[in-house]
Amino acid sequence: MSKLRVAAAQIEASAEPRGASETHLRAIEVAAEAGAALLVFPELSWTGYALERARERATARDDRAWSPLQGAVDRLGVTVVLGAPLLERGRLVLCALVLRPNAPALVYAKMNLGGFSGRDAADLEAGAELPPHEAAVFEPGAAPLLFDCRGRRCALAICADLGRPEHAAACAEAGAQLYLASAFVIPSAMSSERERASQRARAHAMPVLLANYAGCTGGLHAAGRSAAWDAEGRCVDELADARPGLLLADL
């Protein structure tokens, strides 16, 4: 099986739509120039992890906000996975939106909603409070989503999905060949999250790509260190720290 060049955009969250659009467009251009066929952004990349504003900033899969990004996707031929709060059939969901060249957008709604607790307080910004649990804001999704990218079957995971072995197992059983995780991982959780990614790859001979934030969002520091694991669970590419960057991997 030929490998697919994939990329993870390790970005800083933007507080407003204009900044988010510019950040996403810039990353799409850079990934395309580097030969990536597929680019994955972190969880809720469009808004940052600002759960208190999720309903206010919620969009739809056919929102005009996506037009500049879809134009870049069509022009450059790269598939993009970004994160946003979305209203789907009246339900507010935490989604991964898949923009494909010259094709309708796809939506995956996060199935396993998560949250932070008191043990995560060490990763808070000064004066910040922990965000609410996602289940207090969003409704969970019902099923995995798989899609094709240049002959490879790809499945999506959003942060806490990665922590549920049954999620990766269901994706693999459905035929997934790549497991793409959009995440918001804080420094104190990064070691365990990396081990989970390696375990999922080994268990299903299914490479894993993890896209995490740079900087801070939702009042918490992000760990950065976006990474990729091969089908044997070996970390084959990673970013060294929590600064903005683009990870490229052939998986």
- What is the structure's pLDDT at 89? 87
Q: Return the pLDDT at 88.
A: 87
Q: Which residues of the chain have pLDDT under 70?
A: none
Query: CA–CA separation, 217 vs 45, rounded Å?
Result: 10
pLDDT of residue 55: 94
| 8 Å CB contact between 45 and 212 | no
For the segment 97-109, what is each residue's pLDDT rounded down to a tens digit? 999 999 999 999 9
- Give the number of other Cβ atoms within 10 Å of residue 9's Cβ: 30
pTM: 0.97
What the block records as the tokens of 120 is: 């995560």
Residue in 6, 10, 4, 20 with CA at minimum distance from that of residue 184: 10
The span from the CA of 29 to the CA of 3, in Å, is: 21
CA-to-CA dists, residue 16 to 65, 95, 105, 181, angstroms: 12, 18, 22, 24
The encoded tokens of residue 210 equal 């993890």
Domain count for the chain, please give it: 1
126: CATH: 3.60.110.10
Q: How far apart are CA 27 and CA 73, in angstroms?
A: 11
pLDDT recorded at residue 150 = 96
pLDDT of residue 2: 86
* Burial of 140 per CB tally in 10 Å (0-12, 13-18, 19+): middle
**pLDDT recorded at residue 116:** 96
Which residues have C-beta within 8 Å of that of residue 29, sequence separation ≥ 6? Answer: 72, 76
Instruction: Supply the range of the domain harboring residue 240.
Output: 5-250
Q: Write the pLDDT tens digit of every residue in 167-214.
A: 999 999 999 999 999 999 999 999 999 999 999 999 999 999 999 999
**How many whole angstroms separate alpha carbon 22 and alpha carbon 247?**
19
